[in-house]
Amino acid sequence: MSAPQRPESAPELPQTFVPADVEGTLYERWVERGYFTPSGKPDATPYSIVIPPPNVTGSLHVGHALDHTIQDVLVRRRRMQGFDALWLPGMDHAGIATQNVVERELAKEGLSRHDLGREAFVERVWRWKAESGGKILGQMRRLGDSVDWTRERFTMDEGLSRAVGTMFKQLYDDGLIYRAERIINWCPRCLTALSDIEVEHADDDGELVSIRYGDGDNSLVVATTRAETMLGDTAVAVHPDDERYTHLVGTKVELPLTGRRIPVVADEHVDPAFGTGAVKVTPAHDPNDFEIGRRHDLPSLMIMDEHGVITAHGPFQGLDRFEARPAVVAALRADGRIEREVRPYRHAVGHCQRCDTVVEPRVSLQWFVKVEPLASAASEAVRSGRVTIHPPELAKRYFSWVDNMHDWCISRQLWWGHRIPVYYGPNGEVVCVGPDEEPPSGPGWTQDGDVLDTWFSSGLWPISTLGWPAQTPDLARYYPTSVLVTGYDILFFWVVRMAMFGLYAMKDRGPADSVPFREIVLHGMVRDAHGKKMSKSFGNVVDPLDWIDRYGADATRFTLARGANPGSDVPITEEWAQGSRNFATKLWNASRFALMNGASAALPVPPAERLSSADRWILSRLHTLIAEVDASYDGYEFAKACEAIQAFAWGEFCDWYVELAKTSLTAGGDAAQATRAVLGHVLDRLLRLLHPVMPFVTEELWLALTQGGVDGEAEAERSLVVAAWPAPEKAYADPAAEAEIAALQRLVTEVRRFRSDQGLRPGQRVPARLVGIETGVLAAHEPAIRTLLRLDEAGPDFAASASLPVGDVRVELDTAGTIDVAAERRRLEKDLGNARKDRDQAQRKLGNAEFLAKAPQPVVDKVNRQYATAEADIARLEAQLAALPAG
C-alpha cells in the first residue's frame, strides 16, 4: 500500500521541531498581543494567582521551574476556559542576600557600606538592581510563564512600600507590634537577626563535653556541645520530680572557671531521661534556656559580641567562639572538671541561609509581632473550610505550626529594606509614623536604624500587589486570589504569614472574602530518580536552563509536570527529559503526516454513519480523555493528567489511529475526507489539552492546523493561548467502536509478539491467511491488519507452518525460509529449560514449611511472583515451540 499523498494546499511544517527556532518568537508574540493580560470583562469569572516572588538576586533553579510550571498550567487552562485569568509576577528585594551581593562588589573596590553611608549605599543597591538584578524574569520568559507583565511588582516599589508602612502602623496602633529584648537567631557574618526560614539546619561534627559543676555530693554533671557558653551560665536546671537532685534544688553550685555560684532550679522543661538529667542554663545564648530564665527570673549574661567574639572578662576574652571552645575545654580539663572523655557528637546545627555561617542564638533588642490573635485567625480560616489545603493531610503540618507560633522577630540590622517607621525623641519619646504622616523633626529625633524582615513585605504580597491599602479595582476583582501554589517546605514561613496579614487587613470584607487565597496547593521537592535531595555535593543538581537549551522548554515543563501531584516529591532524570523531547517529536511527526494529507481543524466531522469504526473509536477515546484530564486538573493531579494525555497521544493516536487512517486516506473519496476531518478534529482537541503543559510545540502545530480558520477566531487573534478549552462530547461515546478496535489491537499485538519471538524482522513480509476474519467484526479491517503486520496474501503454494488463534480469528503463517527453525527451536528449548528450573526452585521453597514459617512476608510474596512468572513463561514457550514447523 503506497503512502497517502500530500494535497497541494496543505500547510508546510519543517521536517523537525527545533524549540530554539520558535520559543522566543512565540513568547514575544503572546506578550505583544496582550494575551496574558486579563480581559476584566464583567461577565467572566475572575481567577487569580500571585507568583511566589523570587529573590531579585536569584536565578531560575529546578524548584522555581516546577513551581512556575504548575502555576502556568493552572492559569493557561483557566484562561482557555473563559475565566478572567490573572497571574501576577514580581520579585522580592531579598534584604540579606541583596545587601551581601552589593557589599561583595564594594569589597572589590576596597570599600565597605560604612564608607558610603546609608543613603549612598541604598542608591548603590538600586543601581545594582537596575543593572544586574532580576535576571530570573528573563528566565521565566524562557520557561514560558504566561504572567501579566503589565502588573509586575517589586517589594520595594512605592506602592508596596506604602502597604508595608500601613500594615506596620496598624499593627503598632493595635498593640500587635512591640520592642523587647528576646532571644533571636543571629548571623555573626551578616550581623543581623534571622527569621526561622533563613536558618538551615545541617548535621555537623562536634564534641560532647561532660562537665562537673560543684563538688562532692552537692555536684552535678552537665553535657554540652558548646563549652564556651558555660561562661554565661546563670543556673543548672533539673526536673522537679527527679529524685536524684531533689536535695539540690534551691541550693547553689560553683560554676567552674568563673568563681561564680549559680542556683539549681527545678523546671519541667528538663527531660530527666536525657543524659544526666541536669542541664546548664545560658539564658542569653540559647532559646530554651531563655525561657527557663524568664520562668525563674534568672539574669542573662552576654558573653559574646555580635561577631561571635568572647567578651567575658578572663583568659578567653577576645577569642572567636570557635577558638574559645577548645580553650575552655582545655582549662576545664586542667581544673579536673571534665567528667569523662570528650566524645565525637554529630548534631543538627543552624547555619545562615545566605552565607553558611553557624548561627548564634543571642538576646537582642528587636521588634516583634504579637502573633497569637493573627495566628488564631489563620488557623480558623483553614479549619472552617474557607481555605482548603491540597493535599488535605498536610493541613496537620499547617496547624502544628500556626497553633504553636512564637512571636515573630521582624527587625533586621540591614540598610537595604523597608526601614522601620519609628522615631525616638530626645526625651525618650517613641513615635510610629504612617505613610501619610509627617515624621517628627528637630534636634535629637532619630529614626530606628533597622529594616523589616523580608517576610513582612512578602506576607503582604496577595494584597499589596493588587493595590492595598488603596481600594483599587484589581483588589476588588481579584482578591481573594484563587489558589496559592508553593512548596510544602515554606508552608510555615510564607503561607502562614500571608494568611495572618490578609485576614487582618481585609477583615472588613467579612470571613468569606478576607482570606488571601481560596486554595493552597502544596507540591514537594524535586529529587533525583533515586529520591535523593538535589545537592551540589551529590552532583545531582539539575539546571532547568540547561535542559531548556538542549531539550526545549516544553520537554522541561512536561518532565516536571509528569511527576507532580499534591504534596509528593517530584523525581526527575535527564532520561525523562529526553523522553519528553521524544514525545514532542512524535507529536510533531504525526501532525506533519496529518497536515500533509489534508487534515484541518476547519473541516466538519461527518455524522457517525459516514465514519469508519477507527474514526468513531478515536473520537470516543478523545471524549473519555477530556473528561479524565479535567478531573485530574481539578484535583491538582498534574502527573495523572500528563500520563493520560501522553498515553492517548502516543499510544492511541500516533501508534494506532494514524496507522489505521492510512487505509482510508489511500482509498480516497468520502472515506478519506471523513478521516481528514477526524484527524483535524482530534489533533485540535489534543493540542488544546496539551497546551498548558507544552505551550510552544502545541502553538506551532495548532497554527498550522487551523490555517483554514476555527471557532470563528479572527486570523490575527488566532492562538491556543486564548482558544477555548475542549469539553467532553457525549455524542462521540461509542462503546461498540471501542470494542471493535480493541479486538483489532489484540490481534495485531499478539501476532507482533509472535513475530518477535520467532526472530522475524519488523519489516519482513510473511505470507498469511486470516481464517474466520470474513465473518467477524474485523472483516473490514483486513487490509489495515495486513499492512500493520506486514502480511502478504496466501498464494497457491501457501503451506502454514505456524498457527496462532486470537479471538475469533486464526492467523496462519508460512514462515518457511524466513527463520532458521532448528536454531529457533534450540533457543526456545534453552529458555524453556531455564523457566522450568526457576519454577521448580520456587516450588521447592513454597513447599518448605520451615521457609514459610521463618521468611518475612515480602520474601514469600517475591517467591510467589517468581513462581507465577515462571509458569507463564513455560506456557508461552511451549506454545511457541508447538507453533514451529516440524523437522
Instruction: Give me 13's grid cell.
Output: 511544517
Do 264 and 248 touch, CB atoms closer than 8 A? yes
Which neighbouring-strand residues pair with 55? 92
Cα distance between residue 725 and residue 36, in whole Å: 16
Pair type for strands 343-352 and 199-213: antiparallel
Environment class of residue 849 by beta-carbon count within 10 Å: exposed (0-12), middle (13-18) or buried (19+)? Answer: exposed
Distances (CA, A) of 552 to 540, 558, 644, 856, 863: 20, 10, 22, 47, 44
Find the length of the chain: 887
Q: Compute and round to an integer the Cα radius of gyration of the chain.
A: 36
Interatomic CA distance for residues 699 and 26, integer angstroms: 8
Q: Cell 478572567 maps to which residue? A: 84
SS (H, E, C) 38-74: CCCCCCCCEEEEECCCCECCCCCCHHHHHHHHHHHHH
Q: In the numeric block, which cell numbers belong to residue 150?
A: 503589565
Residue 410's nearest CA partner among 193, 157, 183 is: 193
Contact at 8 Å (CB) between 328 and 257? Answer: yes
The DSSP-derived string for 585-624 is HHHHHHHHHHHHTT--TTSPPPPGGGS-HHHHHHHHHHHH
DSSP H helical ranges for 734-856: 735-757, 782-789, 821-846, 849-854
Strand order in the sheet with 343-352: 220-224, 199-213, 343-352
- Please check whether residue 357 is in contact with residue 351, taking contact to mean a CB–CB distance below 8 angstroms: yes
**Residue appearing with cell numbers 511457541:** 880
Q: In what order do the strands lie in the sheet with 422-424?
A: 430-432, 422-424, 446-447
Spatial distance between the Cα atoms of 432 and 423, rounded to a whole number of angstroms:
6
Secondary structure E strands in 302-379: 343-352, 360-369
User: Alpha-carbon distance 81 to 392, whole Å?
Assistant: 26
DSSP string, 197-225: GGEEEEEEEEEEEEEEESSGGG-EEEEES
Q: Tell me the backbone φ, ψ of residue 865, rounded to 5 degrees.
A: -65, -40
Angle between helices 62-80 and 135-143 (to 10 degrees): 50
Q: At what angle do helices 19-32 and 695-705 cross, to 10 degrees?
A: 80
Q: Is 536 annotated as a binding residue?
A: yes
How far is Cα 119 from Cα 115, in angstroms, rounded to an integer?
Answer: 11
Q: What span, in angstroms and rounded, lies between the C-alpha atoms of 321 and 809?
A: 85
**Can you tell me which residue has the cell 558610603?**
116
Q: Is the dihedral of CA 411, 414, 418, 419 positive or negative?
A: positive
What is the CA angle 574-580-583, rounded to 5?
A: 150
Torsion of CA 9, 13, 14, 17, to 10 degrees: -170
Question: What one-character-per-residue DSSP string does 663-675 give?
Answer: HHHHH-HHHHHHH
Cα separation, 413 vs 185, in Å, equals 12
What the block records as the C-alpha cell of 57 is 538576586
Nearest to 616 by CA among 520, 740, 529, 507: 740
Please provide the distance, in angstroms rounded to a whole number, between the alpha carbons at the two ends of the chain: 35
Binding site residue list: 536
Binding site residue list for ATP: 536
